[in-house]
Amino acid sequence: MIPSAFPAKDEIARLTARMLLEIGAVHFNAREPYIYASGLPGPTYIDCRKLISFPRIRSTLMDFLAVTVMREAGFEAFDNIAGGETAGIPFAAMVAERLALPMTYVRKKPKGYGRNARIEGAMSEGQRVLLVEDLTTDGGSKLSFVDAIRDTGATCGHTAVIFYYGIFPETEKTLGDHGIALHHLCTWHDVLTEAKASAAFDDETLAEVESFLNDPRAWQAARA
């Protein structure tokens, strides 16, 4: 079913943050920071993959994602929904179901045998494709997926994620320079606000996380 009436964007952000906290997808650890793919440390980690195991929450969030895309990009803006391997695949399937559109997925790299394909499913020239993933940090991983989609002759000018870090100012420029608009449900700032309201973590941890979110590069430089 195509969703049509849902809360305002700020309420969607608050509820999404609350759900992520409720299922334990949010991890804060200032004493033993996590190491990100960049090799740099940070006191925050999000595991959106856990959402697939919680039917009520995943269903609500996929409704939120579908309506966010329709509100921000248009109700007839897409012909195909593509998931990025691997975390984006289940979410793309659920969004495609809601929007009554074909679903495909994009491999991180060619299979290495057979057709050596990066696109699985039916994607054709001229189709307008929405790339769905679980999250984005600096936006870099999205570029390869989008390029693979465009190589088919389809267009891809939008990506939708459940969670956007929202702390690295270059992210939206990186995507924008590549002709990609970002749509998301919530950010680390939304999660921190909800974590404070619910006292989900101790005050010392929350203060350290807030310090990181306010100036992540300085926080990382002091601990790299």
User: How many structural domains is the chain composed of?
Assistant: 1
Residue 4 falls inside a structural domain: no
Residue 47 lies in a domain: yes
How far apart are alpha carbons 59 and 76 in whole angstroms? 22
5 part of a folded domain: no
pTM of the full structure? 0.94
72-76 long-range contacts, CB within 8 A, separation 24+ = 72/181, 72/183, 73/130, 73/158, 73/181, 73/183
**Closest residue by Cα to residue 81 from 55, 38, 120:** 120
Distances (CA, A) of 175 to 27, 132, 142, 222: 27, 14, 8, 28
Q: What is the pLDDT of residue 175?
A: 95
Give me the CATH number covering residue 60: 3.40.50.2020
pLDDT value at position 1?
65
Q: What is the DSSP code (8-state) at residue 162?
A: E
> 9 in a domain, yes or no?
no
Q: How far apart are CA 140 and CA 175, in angstroms?
A: 8
By C-alpha distance, which of 10, 19, 24 is closest to 59? 19
169: domain range? Answer: 17-219
Asked whether residue 118 is domain-assigned, the answer is yes
End-to-end CA distance of the chain: 48
71 within some domain:
yes
Within a domain: 7: no
Q: 37-58, pLDDT tens digit by residue?
A: 777 889 999 999 999 999 999 9
Q: Does a structural domain hold residue 12?
A: no
Residue 56: count of CB within 10 angstroms of its CB: 8
Q: Spell out, as residue ranges, where the chain has pLDDT lower than 70.
A: 1, 4, 112, 114, 224
